[in-house]
């Protein structure tokens, strides 16, 4: 099929192929933790198409990609898009149980995955009668003259991308039909029927054109995007933007509170024009010392984009005031490819506290009967447009539940529109928990909880949180034979069964779950029980160290006896940026204080945390004594 046979898909094909042709080979594609040029990426994509052809992959065949190697994910994704294949991008940190469900559900023609992923999913990958190719990053070393050399990986030509060094053949750019599936992203991992969002070639073409026009992205743009590539906002507002527009993408190291300053340093060093991030990271930025206030004060910087979750108005205003930048609040779902409504950067779409207005799509607020909601009344946000998914992969019932015959997507979010046409989120119908920009399905967590020994009943709820959006709370009923260290044991079990971003922030043991007349757990009653448990759980340790250790054990989900004053937080095996934030906020709640940015940034060990709390309590006592 030619471009003229498929004009919409041909557009995205020409966007990628045309960019590769006109970009100078030495122009940066990736900067930061990954460094690649447009020339290197273009060559690898062409070689990867040749590899796909050698593997006998035909248009619309599904290729599973599960890797933490940004360069490998990008070139594999670029090759699938320019060869009419379907990329199925999976979280490389998914548990063995999740990988088993997702890979089997994808029914792939080939699997490209990190060695650790292959080993974790060995049971399922060994059953696949398709090529399973391990991904191992190319080693980078300098020769005697100081020139960078990219050597072969440990497994030589048996792994990707090292095998491309022996791949002289390439394959031409070809296209599937515009309504063919280009990308599948799963929104659930451990349930028996995970939902795979099918994004078409037309969806991607339209979304890229909208983003480039709305955000002013082009060849001179430098986009800092730290979001994971198994999420649409990381993948499509990062590498695909560079592939289709010629922009450069800065990929910093994984963002955590103690390393957040490095991301801002990279934005300044590389003269970034855009920052794509999530509300939680903006909240973390607001906690940084004043030294970082000038991180975006270079003429090339345009604005930050906040996506993947509700943006607290206070955080929004604080970040704009401190860093002297505009924050554009965008709203969308995986089911809308990336975004659908934009609050900024144009004045006609910008009003702080809202999600702005729809761009290149339609929005309707629907009452429970599917009719337009009355003015001033909340309604479910329905979206219709060329950016809306085709449906859920091989799940017709789930598709019919959210897509109407007229093409409206039911988002599950409740919104209101003001007299000037600005929309705001006022609630949520569906049960999904939005934690730090990641959708966490309570059913996934509950399944993991119920599989833990000594747990007889379980349920999962989200509790509001200023920075995370929501915290994930796992509620369990213990068996009669359970022991006192049940929460850490259940937390450790969840880490084996779930991807890190889905692991509960806290395990609460209850005598019973509140069931309604229908036999279902009453979620609001459960939230009240959890709140009461948190209120009655004020720490009364004999010493300040005891109290901080209790907070750390509960928040990080580790046995209290495994912690001491000398324990480094990053040595507990459970601290990512969100867990660190949860620990800091748990300390603030427990001791009713507010830690300063410098104290937060320097909190490396339990002892650092104790000293920070001690200083704050001492300052509070001094103020009381002086009457200030």
Backbone angles phi, psi at 140, to 5 degrees: -115, 125
Separation between Cα atoms, residue 277 and residue 325, nearest integer Å = 14
Supply the pLDDT for residue 49.
Answer: 94
Share of the chain above pLDDT 90, in %: 47
Q: How many residues does the chain have?
A: 628
Mean of all residue pLDDT scores within the chain: 85
Phi-psi region of 237 (alpha: psi -120 to 50; beta: other; left: phi over 0): alpha
Separation between Cα atoms, residue 581 and residue 566, nearest integer Å = 20
Q: Are strands 379-384 and 362-366 parallel, antiparallel or unpaired?
A: antiparallel
| Local confidence band at 388 (pLDDT 50, 70, 90 cut-offs) | very high
Q: Does 381 score more than 80 pLDDT? A: yes
Separation between Cα atoms, residue 575 and residue 401, nearest integer Å = 37
The lowest-confidence range among 72-81, 189-198, 394-403, 619-628 is 619-628
Supply the pLDDT for residue 574.
Answer: 54
Q: Is the dihedral of CA 488, 494, 495, 500 positive or negative?
A: negative
Please report which residue ranges of 55-176 form alpha helices under DSSP H: 70-81, 96-106, 115-120, 122-125
| Assigned CATH topology for domain 433-531 | GMP Synthetase; Chain A, domain 3 (3.30.300)
Supply the pLDDT for residue 4.
Answer: 36
Task: Write the DSSP assignment of 426-481 as a string of letters.
Answer: EEESS--EEETTEEE-HHHHHHHHHTSTTEEEEEEEEEEETTTEEEEEEEEEE-TT
- From the number of C-beta atoms within 10 Å of its C-beta (0-12, 13-18, 19+), residue 5 rates as exposed
The DSSP letter of residue 162 is G
Residues 551-560 pLDDT 10s: 887 777 677 7
In 480-624, at which residue ranges do the beta strands (DSSP E only) sit? 506-509
Residues 448-507 pLDDT 10s: 898 888 888 888 998 888 777 888 999 998 877 666 578 888 888 888 888 888 889 888
The lowest-confidence range among 85-99, 165-179, 269-283, 387-401 is 165-179
Supply the pLDDT for residue 426.
Answer: 84
Supply the pLDDT for residue 375.
Answer: 77
Separation between Cα atoms, residue 172 and residue 548, nearest integer Å = 61
| Cα radius of gyration rounded to whole Å, the chain | 25
Strand partners, 36: 30
- What predicted TM-score, i.e. pTM, was given to this entire model? 0.80
**What tokens does 261 get?**
């300053």
Q: Does 438 score more than 90 pLDDT? A: no
Q: Does 547 score more than 70 pLDDT? A: yes
The DSSP letter of residue 319 is H
Residues 297-345 pLDDT 10s: 999 999 999 998 888 888 899 999 999 999 999 999 999 999 999 999 9
| Local confidence band at 385 (pLDDT 50, 70, 90 cut-offs) | very high
Q: Quickly count: other Cβ atoms within 10 Å of residue 313's Cβ.
A: 13
| Local confidence band at 576 (pLDDT 50, 70, 90 cut-offs) | low
Supply the pLDDT for residue 329.
Answer: 97
Top-confidence residue, 32 or 465:
32
The lowest-confidence range among 5-19, 206-220, 420-434 is 5-19
Cβ atoms of 476 and 452 within 8 Å: the answer is yes
Supply the pLDDT for residue 502.
Answer: 86
Let me know the angle formed at the C-alpha of 411 by 409 and 412, rounded to the nearest 5 degrees. 135
- Tell me which range, 9-13, 437-441, 489-493, 536-540, is most confidently predicted by mean pLDDT: 489-493
| Assigned CATH topology for domain 544-626 | 1.10.1200
Residues 395-417 pLDDT 10s: 999 999 999 999 999 999 999 99
Tracing tokens 């205003």 back to the chain, one arrives at 317
**What tokens does 18 get?**
């045309």
The lowest-confidence range among 115-119, 277-281, 588-592 is 588-592
| Local confidence band at 140 (pLDDT 50, 70, 90 cut-offs) | low
Cβ atoms of 187 and 197 within 8 Å: the answer is yes
Tabulate helix, strand, coil % of the chain (nearest 5). Answer: 40, 20, 40
Tracing tokens 């990986």 back to the chain, one arrives at 153
Task: Say whether 433-531 and 1-19+35-200 share the same fold.
Answer: no
Residue 391's SS3 state is strand
What mean pLDDT is predicted for residues 125-131?
A: 83
Let me know the angle formed at the C-alpha of 622 by 621 and 624, rounded to the nearest 5 degrees. 65
| Assigned CATH topology for domain 1-19+35-200 | Rossmann fold (3.40.50)
Supply the pLDDT for residue 482.
Answer: 66
Supply the pLDDT for residue 608.
Answer: 84
Largest CA distance in the chain: 81
Separation between Cα atoms, residue 455 and residue 482, nearest integer Å = 8
| Local confidence band at 619 (pLDDT 50, 70, 90 cut-offs) | low
Q: Are strands 341-343 and 303-306 parallel, antiparallel or unpaired?
A: unpaired
Helix or strand holding residue 280 (H, E): helix 279-285
Let me know the angle formed at the C-alpha of 173 by 204 and 360, rounded to the nearest 5 degrees. 20
What mean pLDDT is predicted for residues 103-111?
A: 94
Let me know the angle formed at the C-alpha of 445 by 457 and 120, rounded to the nearest 5 degrees. 120
Cis, peptide link before residue 345, omega less than 30° from 0: yes
| Local confidence band at 549 (pLDDT 50, 70, 90 cut-offs) | confident
Domain limits, the chain: 1-19+35-200, 433-531, 544-626
What mean pLDDT is predicted for residues 3-11?
A: 43
Q: Quickly count: other Cβ atoms within 10 Å of residue 372's Cβ.
A: 12
Backbone angles phi, psi at 181, to 5 degrees: -80, 125
């Amino acid at each position: 099929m030619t471009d003229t046979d498929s004009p919409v898909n041909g557009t995205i094909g020409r966007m990628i192929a045309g960019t590769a042709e006109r970009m100078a080979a030495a122009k940066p594609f990736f900067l930061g933790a990954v460094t690649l040029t447009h020339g290197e990426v273009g060559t690898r994509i062409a070689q990867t198409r040749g590899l796909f052809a050698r593997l006998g992959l035909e248009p619309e065949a599904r290729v599973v990609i599960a890797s933490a190697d940004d360069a490998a994910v990008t070139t594999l994704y670029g090759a699938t898009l320019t060869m009419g294949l379907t990329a199925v991008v999976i979280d490389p940190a998914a548990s063995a149980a999740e990988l088993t469900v997702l890979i089997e559900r994808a029914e792939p023609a080939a699997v490209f995955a990190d060695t650790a992923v292959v080993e974790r999913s060995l049971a399922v990958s060994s059953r696949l009668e398709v090529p399973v190719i391990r991904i191992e990053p190319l080693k980078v070393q300098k020769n005697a003259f100081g020139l960078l050399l990219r050597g072969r990986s440990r497994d030589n030509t048996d792994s990707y991308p090292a095998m491309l060094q022996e791949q002289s053949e390439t394959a031409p750019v070809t296209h599937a039909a515009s309504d063919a599936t280009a990308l599948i992203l799963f929104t659930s991992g451990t349930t028996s029927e995970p939902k795979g969002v099918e994004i078409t070639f037309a969806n991607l073409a339209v979304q890229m054109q909208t983003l480039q026009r709305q955000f002013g992205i082009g060849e001179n743009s430098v986009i800092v995007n730290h979001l994971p590539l198994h999420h649409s906002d990381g993948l499509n507002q990062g590498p695909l933007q560079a592939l289709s527009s010629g922009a450069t993408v800065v990929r910093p190291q994984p963002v955590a509170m103690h390393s957040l300053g490095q991301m801002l340093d990279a934005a300044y060093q590389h003269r970034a024009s855009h920052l794509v991030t999530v509300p939680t990271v903006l909240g973390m930025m607001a906690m940084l010392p004043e030294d970082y206030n000038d991180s975006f004060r270079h003429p090339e910087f345009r604005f930050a984009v906040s996506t993947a979750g509700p943006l607290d108005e206070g955080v929004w205003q604080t970040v704009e005031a401190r860093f002297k930048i505009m924050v554009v609040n965008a709203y969308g779902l995986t089911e809308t490819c990336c975004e659908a409504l934009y609050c900024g950067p144009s004045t006609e779409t910008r009003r702080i506290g809202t999600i702005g207005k729809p761009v290149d799509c339609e929005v309707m607020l629907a009452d429970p009967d599917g009719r337009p909601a009355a003015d001033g009344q909340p309604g479910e946000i329905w979206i219709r447009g060329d950016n809306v998914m085709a449906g859920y992969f091989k799940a017709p019932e789930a598709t019919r539940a959210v897509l109407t015959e007229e093409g409206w997507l039911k988002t599950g979010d409740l919104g209101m529109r003001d007299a000037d046409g600005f929309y705001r989120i006022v609630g949520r119908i569906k049960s999904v928990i939005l934690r730090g920009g990641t959708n966490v399905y309570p059913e996934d967590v509950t399944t993991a909880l119920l599989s833990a020994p000594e747990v007889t009943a379980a349920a999962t709820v989200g509790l509001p949180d200023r920075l995370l959006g929501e915290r994930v709370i796992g509620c369990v009923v213990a068996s009669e034979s359970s022991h006192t260290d049940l929460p850490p044991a259940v937390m450790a079990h969840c880490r084996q069964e779930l991807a890190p971003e889905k692991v509960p922030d806290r395990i609460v043991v209850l005598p019973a779950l509140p069931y309604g007349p229908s036999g279902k757990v009453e979620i609001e009653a459960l939230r009240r029980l959890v709140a009461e448990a948190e209120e009655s759980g004020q720490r009364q340790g004999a010493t300040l160290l005891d109290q901080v250790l209790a907070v750390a054990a509960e928040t990080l989900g580790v046995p209290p006896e495994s912690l001491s004053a000398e324990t480094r937080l990053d040595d507990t095996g459970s601290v990512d940026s969100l867990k660190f934030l949860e620990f800091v906020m748990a300390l603030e709640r427990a001791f009713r204080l507010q830690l300063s940015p410098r104290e937060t940034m320097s909190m490396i060990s339990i002892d650092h945390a104790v000293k920070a709390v001690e200083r704050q309590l001492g300052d509070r006592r001094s103020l009381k004594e002086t009457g200030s």
